[in-house]
Amino acid sequence: MSSSARRQALTANLLSRMPLWREADARARRLALGHLDEASDAIRLAQDYRLLAHDLARVRTLLPGTRTREYLEGAYARAHVTLHRGAWRADRALISLFRDELPAAVRWLLPYILWCTAIFILTVLAGYALVHEYPELIGLFASPELIATVERGQLWTEGLLNVVPSSVLSVQILTNNIVVTLFAYCAGILFGLGTLYILGLNGLMLGAVFAFVGQHGLAKQLFSFIVAHGCVELSVMCLSGAAGAALGEALVRPGPGGRSESFRIAALRSGKLLGACALLLVGAGLIEGYVSPNPRFSLATRVVIGVGYWLFMLALLSGRLFPRRHTVS
Amino acid sequence: MSARLPELTVDSVTGIDVALPVAGAGARAYAFLIDWVIRLILGLAWYSVATVVHNGDLSLALPSQTDARWFVAVVAPALAIYFLYHPVLETLMRGRTPGKRMAGVSIISRDGSAPGVGALLTRNVFRLIDSLPLFYGIGLIAVMATHEHRRIGDLAAGTLLVYDTPASSTPAAAANPAAHARFDVVGVELVSELLERWPLLTSQARCQLALQLLARQGLKTDVSSGADEATLHAQLERLVASSAPRSA
């Protein structure tokens, strides 16, 4: 018997397994959509996967460039993706994110957090010193309306609730803060310079405005306004700056895997922090809308709220909000 | 045959690599447009219904002054539907959205598995960059410039968009597979390989392997273990020939 005849026989036998391929493909499609008839279907998928792999290897040799190969490649790929999709539950994934992945990301980012906090504090001091020495420079950091209000001996936050309801104010503030935080992170793609720019600019503005209101005897009122929401809001600014700086360093000093791989690893690790930052900013926005502009809250109450929320942030970032259950053997 | 799409090749435990066709800018744009229409409709639907309920009549008139209840119950949820559509649905549907499903694409990790929550959220955070300056300009340039058609968000999250379905339909080659279903393919392969190596084997090995393979196929041999090789060879060739396709 010639080799071509044997090849023909093998091909015929392969094609005779078409019903098995169709069955396997249908099962993979059903499972991919979550339509599970029986538990045995899931077990059968593993067998299907081996069957399809075997037959595909033969088809690649015997029938290259045919529709049979294309079909089998697709069926095999679908079985692979379905099989590797695994069991998944949103609640467990979220708990795992907050209990394990987030604290790990924070530990990895700790040096960046410390550096970014130091840079932020330095820029606050620099902004303060600049406007303290040269008051006319406040025009670089604040709007003419804000300057005029302070020069009249008032804070721009006074009577804010008479203009905008707390709920509207909260949503506007938290949306703005989240966008700024995410931009500070994403700007790390400019080799970290974008992140440092946003971080530095915010620090300079804060210091400059504090110096300016201090010159008009309003520093205590501004502190009283900021303290309830600012502890977390400013910390989140440093956290997102740290995440952006990590991205930047991955691009400036890539590891052995190359720039693209380093960027991916840094983004995946640090990106987890951003979800927590966004959640924390929702709370900070609500405080800024309901507590900060409300004169009925005393300074002590505001400090308690601010420090309490900041401690909550620490517990969230360290994973202590979702401790593991210890089993007794 | 359709034009070959760029493929992501993934190693598999079976030793046979998996080729996943990567979706390009067209499929991405198609899926995005469908999703955009869906979220726009959902957002507007919420806005309209909630406004009617809030106003207590069929008017869609805005409140004369900033109204906290109207803002919280009408505007904020509508904006949330529009802006959180992608991160929420991609997380819940594990890399899919209604638009992606209709376009026949889904997000996967570079190892072929479903992406995790962290990867999906990271991918969505970078929409801020990809959407700059207008109409996903940076994202589109990145998709066209990268080999695997990945935008910045995909590069950051280690994901990419692949087609769910193969380009071809079921082949018609096996029009009558039942006619060829007598022997299992592995058995025929083994017989075929034995015949190819026949001259290289010792006489004892030829007979032993031939008898084992014929027994595996459930065929009664008309020769004993001491049978002559020529008879066994002929029987093996008949077996392979009988599994070949018959002309109509």
B57-66 pLDDT, tens per residue?
877 777 766 6
| Domain assignment of residue B70, yes or no | yes
Residues B86 and B61 in one domain: yes
Q: Which residue of A has its CA nearest to B183?
A: A13
Closest CA to A58 of B177, B16, B217, B171: B16
Residues A56 and A196 in one domain: no
B contact test, residue of A17, A20, A70, A262 with most B CBs within 10 A: A70
Which residues are CB-neighbours of A169 under 8 A, at least 6 positions away?
A160, A161, A288, A289, A293
H-state helical runs in chain A: 3-15, 18-32, 39-62, 67-83, 90-96, 102-133, 144-151, 160-163, 166-186, 193-215, 219-252, 259-290, 299-318
| Domain assignment of residue A274, yes or no | yes
Using the beta-carbon criterion (under 8 Å), do A84 and B111 form an inter-chain contact?
yes
Cα distance between residue A238 and residue A245, in whole Å: 10
Using the beta-carbon criterion (under 8 Å), do B18 and A167 form an inter-chain contact?
no
Residue A322 phi/psi, 5° resolution? -125, 70
Residues A105 and A52 in one domain: no
Boundaries of domain holding B145: 7-163
Between B18, B121, B164, which is nearest A80 by CB? Answer: B18
| Domain assignment of residue A157, yes or no | yes
Residues B121 and B233 in one domain: no
Residue B194's pLDDT is 86
Cβ–Cβ contact A321 with B under 8 A? no
Q: Which residue of A has its CA nearest to B122?
A: A271
Boundaries of domain holding A121: 90-318
| Domain assignment of residue B168, yes or no | no
Using the beta-carbon criterion (under 8 Å), do B126 and A70 form an inter-chain contact?
no
| Domain assignment of residue B224, yes or no | yes
Residues B142 and B225 in one domain: no
Residue B179's pLDDT is 42
Residues A110 and A255 in one domain: yes
Quickly tell me which residue has 């259950």 as its tokens: A325
The total of structural domains in chain A comes to 2
Cβ–Cβ contact A103 with B under 8 A? no
pLDDT value at B32 more than 50? yes
Residues A142 and A197 in one domain: yes
3-state secondary structure of A192: coil
Residues A178 and A271 in one domain: yes
Residues B183 and B93 in one domain: no
Residues of B in contact with A74 (CB under 8 A): 165-168
| Domain assignment of residue B79, yes or no | yes
Which residue, A33, A67, A83, sits at the end of a domain? Answer: A83
pLDDT value at B182 more than 70? no
Residue B177's pLDDT is 47
Is the Cβ–Cβ distance between A181 and A240 less than 8 Å? yes
Shortest distance, CA B181 to any CA of chain A (angstroms):
5
Residue A86 phi/psi, 5° resolution? 70, 175
Using the beta-carbon criterion (under 8 Å), do A15 and B177 form an inter-chain contact?
yes
Residues A193 and A71 in one domain: no
Cα distance between residue A102 and residue A121, in whole Å: 25
Which residue, B111, B129, B163, sits at the end of a domain? Answer: B163
pLDDT value at B215 more than 70? yes
Mean pLDDT of chain B: 81
Residues B151 and B229 in one domain: no
Taking one residue from A and the other from B, the number of pairs with CB-CB distance under 8 angstroms is 207
**Top mean-pLDDT range of A13-17, A79-83, B40-44, B178-182:** B40-44
Using the beta-carbon criterion (under 8 Å), do A85 and B122 form an inter-chain contact?
no
The total of structural domains in chain B comes to 2
| Domain assignment of residue A54, yes or no | yes
Between B10, B66, B186, which is nearest A168 by CB? Answer: B66
Residues A116 and A55 in one domain: no
**Token representation of residue A143:** 């709007």
Residues B49 and B110 in one domain: yes
| Domain assignment of residue A328, yes or no | no
Using the beta-carbon criterion (under 8 Å), do A70 and B167 form an inter-chain contact?
yes
Which residue, B115, B135, B163, sits at the end of a domain? Answer: B163
Residues B201 and B150 in one domain: no
Residue B238's pLDDT is 82
Cβ–Cβ contact A20 with B under 8 A? no
Residues A77 and A96 in one domain: no
Higher model confidence: residue B236 or residue A265? Answer: A265
R_g of chain A, CA atoms, integer Å = 30
Which residue, A61, A83, A105, sits at the end of a domain? Answer: A83
Using the beta-carbon criterion (under 8 Å), do A81 and B189 form an inter-chain contact?
no
Using the beta-carbon criterion (under 8 Å), do B168 and A71 form an inter-chain contact?
yes
Residues B116 and B11 in one domain: yes
Between B16, B125, B152, which is nearest A185 by CB? Answer: B125
| Domain assignment of residue B60, yes or no | yes
Using the beta-carbon criterion (under 8 Å), do B72 and A97 form an inter-chain contact?
no
Which residue, A34, A62, A83, sits at the end of a domain? Answer: A83
pLDDT in tens, chain A (329 residues): 677 777 777 888 888 888 888 888 888 888 877 766 677 777 888 889 999 999 999 888 888 877 788 888 888 888 888 888 767 777 787 888 888 889 999 999 999 999 999 999 999 999 999 999 999 999 999 999 989 999 998 888 877 766 777 778 888 888 888 999 999 999 999 999 999 999 999 999 999 999 999 999 999 999 999 999 999 999 999 999 999 999 999 999 998 888 989 999 999 989 889 888 999 999 999 999 889 988 899 999 999 999 999 999 999 999 888 877 665 55
Query: What is the CB neighbour count within 10 angstroms for residue A152?
Result: 8
Residues of A in contact with B74 (CB under 8 A): none
Residues B218 and B122 in one domain: no
Using the beta-carbon criterion (under 8 Å), do B156 and A274 form an inter-chain contact?
no
Residues A252 and A301 in one domain: yes
Residues A76 and A181 in one domain: no
Average pLDDT value for residue range B184-194: 74
B contact test, residue of A268, A277, A286 with most B CBs within 10 A: A268
Residues A41 and A157 in one domain: no
| Domain assignment of residue B116, yes or no | yes
Shortest distance, CA A297 to any CA of chain B (angstroms):
21
A contact test, residue of B192, B233, B242 with most A CBs within 10 A: B192
Using the beta-carbon criterion (under 8 Å), do B128 and A182 form an inter-chain contact?
yes
Residues B159 and B100 in one domain: yes
Residues B188 and B155 in one domain: no
Residue A84's pLDDT is 81
* Confidence category of residue B203, pLDDT binned at 50, 70, 90: confident
pLDDT value at B184 more than 80? no
In terms of Cβ atoms closer than 10 Å to its own Cβ (0-12, 13-18, 19+), residue A212 is buried
Residues A167 and A27 in one domain: no
User: What is the value of ipTM here, to two decimals?
Assistant: 0.81
pTM of the model: 0.77
| Domain assignment of residue B248, yes or no | no
Residues B27 and B89 in one domain: yes
Residues of B in contact with A243 (CB under 8 A): none
